[in-house]
Amino acid sequence: MRRSCVEDGHAMTMPGVRCRIGDISVSLRSELPEILLDFQTIYGGTPLGFDDPGDGVRMEVRRAARSRLGRPRYQVYGDGVEIGGARRAKEVFPFLEWGINLRVIDTRPDYLQLHAASLVKGGQGCILAGGSGFGKSTIAAGLMTRGWQYLSDEFALIHRDTHLLHPFPKALCIKEGSFAAVERLGLPFARRRDYVKARKGRVAYISPLDLGSDAIARPSPIRLVILPQYAPEARPHVHRVSPAQALVELAGCTFNRFAFGDRLFTILKKVVDDAACYRLFSNDLEASCRLVESLLPQSKDRADRPIQMDASAIARTPSNGKTQQSPRHSRRDFLRAGAKIAYITPAVLALTPEHAFAAGSNPSGQCSTAVHTGGLCDTDTDCCTGKCSIGICE
């Protein structure tokens, strides 16, 4: 392993900047001036003196030896340990962003860390949890233009004792496919739009500093759990997800779950017990935001919430704020109707702590099988077809 800049004394010759992201202090030293400028534009902060070792999460970016073909390479370190390298300058900032997340995973065991965006409205917290490409960041951006306060993107922090959502306002990472939608919302991108982030391709960032002085929320209780899923050919709609199913899926989205062991489930059980849980099938930002917004006020009255609704139903929402649904089903009705059918939805929580969304689904309760097994899903698919009519659905 390469030695870090700090260890070989090289770091102190590099310019640096220090900032706070939520309650986490981050300092960055970089040989690449444009990375420092990007970082300071997005997070603000103050310059780091050459004799200042920094505190909290200490990140470093330096040029590495050129490749055999003579191409430049870049190395990112976190707290003195090499995290990895980038071959193109455009990849460095996204890599740095992820490196900060990795260091937080390793150094903040007081938080359960979920792959989720998190926001707050009216003191009620919402997490949008799921794998990459499910639309978390874009929906979060949409909600912010509707008066929601920001807590985090990619990385929701739930305190292990209070179970409150804590702010970790990293920059929102928007993929190229959503640039136009975000521009229509009037949200400004910070500096450039030509960053490249591994599988996601071209990305741009929205700085939390550009969202307004009161845009960052305080620690808040979680009242709404949304599991977004991109559904290009369907009208945006939501399905109720049972708390048990939501618990399993949130467990699969937790980066540091192995550090918590059994306690992971105890914490997440409290979260899903206190929140309303929905799966959001999304392809239209405006309609999806309307749907999410309509779910929040109902979260106190769990039994009367509709099992599923779509964007057209929301459009008919009367002015008193209560959502009308037809037919109207309750969770209790569903359980009563399904009480004679034994179903099981197994899942394996992947043993690698990255992008795990390894949960089966039993979304509708319409399966007429004696045994319902969702099997093991990968990060982008949902295995249950809901169309089974034989004994075992796989």
Partner 1 sequence: MTSPTSGMKTLAVLAGFGREEVVLPRRRAGIREYVCDGETVLFDPATWRTCVLNATAYDIWQRCDGRSTMRQVARRQAGAYEVSFDTALDHVEQVAALFASLTLFDVEGADATVVR
Residue keyed to tokens 């999806």: 288
Q: How far is the CB of 393 from partner 1 (least distance, A)?
A: 11
User: Which residues within the stretch 257-296 sit at the binding site for partner 1 (CB under 8 A)?
Assistant: 258, 261-262, 265-266, 269, 272-273
Interface with partner 1 in residues 290-349 (CB under 8 A):
302, 331, 335, 338-349
Task: Judge whether 56 and 108 are in contact, CB under 8 Å.
Answer: no
CB of 337 to partner 1, least distance (A): 11
Q: Is 392 in the site for partner 1 (CB under 8 A)?
A: yes
Hey, how many other C-beta atoms are within 10 angstroms of the C-beta on 100? 25
Nearer to partner 1, 234 or 371 (CB): 371
Q: Is 362 in the site for partner 1 (CB under 8 A)?
A: yes
Nearer Cβ to partner 1 (100/349): 349
**Which residue lies nearer to partner 1 by CB, 33 or 261?**
261
Q: Which residue, 299 or 345, is less far from partner 1 as judged by CB? A: 345
CB atoms within 10 A of CB 74: 22
Close Cβ partners of 375 (under 8 Å, ≥ 6 residues apart):
346, 360, 383, 394
Identify any residues that bridge with 166 across adjacent strands, giving them in sequence order: 157
**In whole angstroms, what is the distance from residue 350 CA to residue 357 CA?**
8
CB of residue 112 to partner 1, shortest distance in Å? 15
Minimum gap (Å) between residue 299 Cβ and partner 1: 14
Q: How far is the CB of 196 from partner 1 (least distance, A)?
A: 33
| Ramachandran class of 186: left when φ > 0, alpha when ψ lies in -120 to 50, beta otherwise | left
Q: Does 219 bind partner 1 (CB under 8 A)?
A: no
Of 40 and 242, which has the nearer Cβ to partner 1? 242
Q: Which amino acid is at 346?
A: P
Structure token digits, residue 388: 């089974």
Least CB distance to partner 1 at residue 344 (A)? 5
Nearer to partner 1, 8 or 262 (CB): 262
Rounded to a whole number of angstroms, the minimum distance from the CB of residue 278 to partner 1 is 14
Of 231 and 350, CB closest to partner 1: 350
- The residue within the footprint of partner 1, chosen from 245, 254, 282, 294 (CB under 8 A), is 245
Helix (H, G, I), strand (E, B) or coil at 77: strand
Of 24, 19, 25, whose CA–CA distance to 44 is shortest?
Answer: 19
Q: With contact defined as beta carbons under 8 Å apart, do 285 and 269 qualify?
A: no
Beta bridge partners of 58: 27
Q: Is the dihedral of CA 273, 278, 279, 283 positive or negative?
A: negative
Q: Check residue 160 for interaction with partner 1 (CB under 8 A).
A: no
CA distances from 12 to 9, 51, 241 (A): 6, 6, 52
- Measured CA to CA in angstroms, residue 134 lies from 130, 139, 225 at distances of 6, 10, 14
16 binds partner 1 (CB under 8 A): no
Number of residues that bind partner 1 (CB under 8 A): 39
Q: Which is nearer to partner 1, 150 or 260 (CB)?
A: 260
Interface residues with partner 1 (CB under 8 A) are 242-245, 247-248, 251, 258, 261-262, 265-266, 269, 272-273, 302, 331, 335, 338-349, 351, 359-360, 362, 370-371, 373, 391-392
